[in-house]
Amino acid sequence: MLLDEFDLLLRSLDESLDAVDVQTARRLLDNLKDLAFDDSRHARLACRQLVLEMHSREQEPELDPAYALLNAARRALDLPAQADALVALARLQSRARMVTQALESFGEAEALYEQLGDPASVALAKVRASSALYEGELFAELLQRFEPLAADLGQLALLPSAARHSLMTNIGAAYSFLDRYEEAAAISQRLYEESLQSGTPTARMRDTVNLANQYLWLGKLDAVERLLREAGELLAGGEVLERQQIFYFQNCALLAWKRGRHLEALPLFDRAWALALPHPMMPIRGRILMRKAECAEEAGLFETALAARKAQVSLVQERARHQARSFGLTLERVSSHARMQGQNEYLRRQGSQLERELAEARDALELKVEQRNRELERAVRMLLEREKQAALTHLVAGVAHELNTPLGNALLAIGTMAAVIDQNKQAFEEGRLSRRDIHELHGGLEEGLALAQRGLERASALVRSFKALALEQAGMEPVDFHPSDVVENTLAVMDRGLREAGVEVELQCPGGQVLHGNPGALGQVLAQLFENSLVHAFRGWQGERRLRISASLQGDDYCLEVGDSGHGIAQANRPRVFDPFFTTRLGQGSSGLGLHLAYRLVTQRLGGEIRLLEAPGGGALFELRLPRRLSH
């Protein structure tokens, strides 16, 4: 394939993006703008711009621009721009951990590049799929797919250096996560030797530090010390990237820790953390905090360890918020993209039908309507399943956060008691143990045991609630259950979000009542209604924040009311609240499927009714009217 100046510079730009060399990529992108004299080239540059922004920002990637570029390229029948847009979309989906979608986008791009006769781009699309598997933590699948390629030196030599290095690094990381440290170190050693022969200072720094890290976990501390001295000399030369200093100081801290120099290691962890803050490197920050906490605990510095653990939890919560927001927006983008594709397909087919006779057009139209209905049903089912997964992710994140505090308190108490026992043991062996020391020991042990017991009892209660709710979610066949238990378990799992929003819960749901039906479906409905109050009723609300749940028997029906004191629902929107894709927060994390999912669960799985009532005093009020015995 003959390449002109634009295509050659485009290949160089892709190499810089694969190497995450942001500065070089920006310079090449600016140079290429002068050569972009038509819409197709502008679109292809815009695809690279999206990937560059992904590398430059901390936030979860925005997928809307990639979908827009892809749709524009398809309308213009521009295959090169369409292939490049698919690659950009796949890389953004990979960063957002949408592994299945990323692999599908890469596969479509491969097919287009083959059609264009561009084998180099075909190979690159295949290799970049390894990053999607790595970002999704599918390490065994990554090795199964790419180990044969890694063993084929001839095929590897055909790849650009940055892509080849990215592939081998992903394979090495997969080995490391699967505890195959010897194989991981062998790959790092090969990359290190290559960079010594022909690499720039930046490449040498990267591979030297990577190899040092692999040797750390194999216990080869002398080799690690030698490699870090080499890295230090490169750092002193001033020709390495700032982000590489993060890994250098992190490994220096790990080495000092493994050598038993804990007090020397802690400031090094802090320096690595400070360097990582300006960069989109949440996983690296998490590992730095985790290792710092372990080092501090080993040194007996429990306050330092607890502070690091709290910072680690905050980081996990921040990342979970980014992912939840990205997932909610993704539902909207997928539905919009599907609608646009369906509309384009319909218009193309309708245009061809105009040349047919009226009878044939009518028959074809009926067939299309039937087909479109089936496709829409499949799409809605898929999106509803994703809505369920999003709700489950939110619940799991809440339970994980709640468990961390009591377990952290218990661990801290046990560590403190261990330190006190060691001190008394030493005093006893040295013959200087007094009655006062024994009294202080008893007092410290009693206080520590009480703290540990409270923490473990709290954790046990949370696990029981979550386990009960999980079992309810799994149940498919109608069973006898107490609806009050489902309400209490759902509230326990969502307790963190309600407390953080300052919501006071008023529960009037007497026990003793038994329903025959699907408790899992009821739990999902309640979780969606509670989540709706947090997102719509109380966000930006300055008044009273109260969530009211009450239950009563009315004839053969069990009536459950869920109301809040928040913003309420505008009169014009009330008839549409249960419609699919209807939301007042379009583009702000809401898919418009939550209440539709609740409606389907109540009417189809629980055999009941759900209504929006007029709430006395303002807010929103939903009534669930469920038969006491589900008839199937």
- pLDDT, one tens digit per residue, over 461-489 is 666 555 544 444 444 578 888 999 999 98
Res 398 pLDDT > 70: no
Helix and strand totals (H; E) in the chain: 23, 7
The two tokens of residue 305 are 């360890």
Does 199 reside within a domain? no
User: CATH code at 111?
Assistant: 1.25.40
Q: What is the mean pLDDT of the chain?
A: 78
**Upper half-sphere CA count for residue 286 (Cβ side, 13 Å):** 12
Please answer whether residues 488 and 551 qualify as being in contact, where contact means their C-beta atoms are separated by less than 8 angstroms: no
Convert the pLDDT of each residue in 592-604 to its tens digit. Answer: 667 887 888 888 8
Contacts of 371 (CB under 8 A, 6+ apart): none
Contacts of 210 (CB under 8 A, 6+ apart): 169, 172, 188, 191, 192, 247
> HEC profile for 119-171?
HHHHHHHHHHHHHHHHHCCCHHHHHHHHHHHHHCHHHHHCCCHHHHHHHHHHH
Q: Confidence class of residue 168 from pLDDT cuts 50, 70 and 90?
A: confident
The two tokens of residue 428 are 């006893």
Query: What pLDDT is attached to residue 464?
Result: 57
User: CATH code at 505?
Assistant: 3.30.565.10
The more confident residue out of 376 and 205 is: 205
**Which contacts (CB < 8 Å, 24+ apart) does range 375-379 have?**
375/342, 379/335, 379/338
Does 229 reside within a domain? no
Q: Confidence class of residue 69 from pLDDT cuts 50, 70 and 90?
A: confident
Cβ-count burial of 584 within 10 angstroms (0-12 exposed, 13-18 middle, 19+ buried)? middle
Q: Confidence class of residue 34 from pLDDT cuts 50, 70 and 90?
A: confident
Q: Are residues 517 and 587 in the same domain?
A: yes
Query: What pLDDT is attached to residue 238?
Result: 74
**Averaged pLDDT for residues 133-159:** 79
**Averaged pLDDT for residues 288-311:** 86
Backbone angles phi and psi of 612, in degrees to 5:
-95, 120
Does 395 reside within a domain? yes
Q: Confidence class of residue 378 from pLDDT cuts 50, 70 and 90?
A: low
Does 287 reside within a domain? no
Rg (CA), the chain: 30
- Which pTM was predicted? 0.47
Q: Confidence class of residue 558 from pLDDT cuts 50, 70 and 90?
A: very high
Q: Are residues 386 and 360 in the same domain?
A: yes
DSSP secondary structure letters along 282-301: HHHHHHHHHHHHHHHHHTT-
The β-bridge relationship of strands 609-613 and 504-508 is unpaired
Rounded CA separation 458/455 (Å) = 5
Rounded CA separation 396/493 (Å) = 8
At which of 470, 485, 502 does a domain end?
Answer: 470
The candidate with the shortest Cα–Cα distance to 262, out of 296, 290, 289, is: 296
At which of 470, 495, 523 does a domain end?
Answer: 470
Top mean pLDDT of 124-128, 519-523, 558-562 is at 558-562
Convert the pLDDT of each residue in 91-105 to its tens digit. Answer: 888 777 677 888 888
Q: Are residues 552 and 594 in the same domain?
A: yes
Q: Are residues 441 and 509 in the same domain?
A: no
Query: What pLDDT is attached to residue 466?
Result: 56
Rounded CA separation 291/570 (Å) = 51
Edge-to-edge, what's the strand order for the sheet holding 504-508? 504-508, 546-554, 557-564, 620-627, 609-613
The candidate with the shortest Cα–Cα distance to 89, out of 71, 114, 115, 77, is: 71
DSSP secondary structure letters along 335-377: HHHHHHHHHHHHHHHHHHHTTS-HHHHHHHHHHHHHHHHHHHH
**Upper half-sphere CA count for residue 441 (Cβ side, 13 Å):** 17
Percent of the chain with pLDDT over 90: 9
Q: Are residues 454 and 583 in the same domain?
A: no
Q: Confidence class of residue 178 from pLDDT cuts 50, 70 and 90?
A: confident
Q: Are residues 496 and 389 in the same domain?
A: no
DSSP secondary structure letters along 198-241: H--HHHHHHHHHHHHHHHHHHT-HHHHHHHHHHHHHHHHHT-S-
Please answer whether residues 404 and 313 qualify as being in contact, where contact means their C-beta atoms are separated by less than 8 angstroms: yes
Residues in the chain: 632
The more confident residue out of 356 and 269 is: 269
Does 110 reside within a domain? yes
Res 624 pLDDT > 90: yes
Please answer whether residues 598 and 610 qualify as being in contact, where contact means their C-beta atoms are separated by less than 8 angstroms: yes
Contacts of 259 (CB under 8 A, 6+ apart): 221
Query: What pLDDT is attached to residue 48?
Result: 84
The more confident residue out of 219 and 61 is: 219
**Averaged pLDDT for residues 435-451:** 80
The more confident residue out of 553 and 466 is: 553
Contacts of 458 (CB under 8 A, 6+ apart): 406
| Domain interval for residue 450 | 326-470
Query: What pLDDT is attached to residue 399?
Result: 59
Q: Are residues 445 and 330 in the same domain?
A: yes
H helical segments located in 430-509: 435-474, 483-493, 495-500
At which of 437, 470, 503 does a domain end?
Answer: 470
**Other Cβ atoms within 10 Å of 218 Cβ, number:** 13
Please answer whether residues 189 and 171 qualify as being in contact, where contact means their C-beta atoms are separated by less than 8 angstroms: no
Region of 512 please: left (phi>0), alpha (psi -120 to 50) or beta. left
Rounded CA separation 339/91 (Å) = 23
Rounded CA separation 98/133 (Å) = 10
The two tokens of residue 491 are 């509230």
Res 335 pLDDT > 50: no
* Per-residue CA distances from 244 to 120, 218, 296, 304, 586 (Å): 29, 22, 24, 26, 40
Q: How many domains does the chain have?
A: 3
Please answer whether residues 580 and 596 qualify as being in contact, where contact means their C-beta atoms are separated by less than 8 angstroms: yes
Please answer whether residues 534 and 503 qualify as being in contact, where contact means their C-beta atoms are separated by less than 8 angstroms: yes
Does 111 reside within a domain? yes
Query: What pLDDT is attached to residue 340?
Result: 45
Q: Are residues 483 and 455 in the same domain?
A: no
Contacts of 355 (CB under 8 A, 6+ apart): none
**Other Cβ atoms within 10 Å of 506 Cβ, number:** 11
Convert the pLDDT of each residue in 484-536 to its tens digit. Answer: 999 998 888 788 788 888 999 999 988 888 898 888 889 889 988 988 888 88
**End-to-end alpha-carbon separation of the chain, Å?**
65
* Per-residue CA distances from 390 to 419, 449, 586, 587, 594 (Å): 43, 38, 17, 16, 10
Q: Are residues 443 and 536 in the same domain?
A: no
Contacts of 253 (CB under 8 A, 6+ apart): 265, 266, 268, 269, 271, 272, 291, 292, 295
Least confident stretch, 45-54, 55-64, 549-558: 55-64
Q: Are residues 430 and 501 in the same domain?
A: no
Q: Are residues 506 and 466 in the same domain?
A: no
Query: What pLDDT is attached to residue 196?
Result: 85
Does 433 reside within a domain? yes
Query: What pLDDT is attached to residue 587?
Result: 47
Does 157 reside within a domain? yes
Q: Are residues 394 and 484 in the same domain?
A: no
Query: What pLDDT is attached to residue 344?
Result: 47
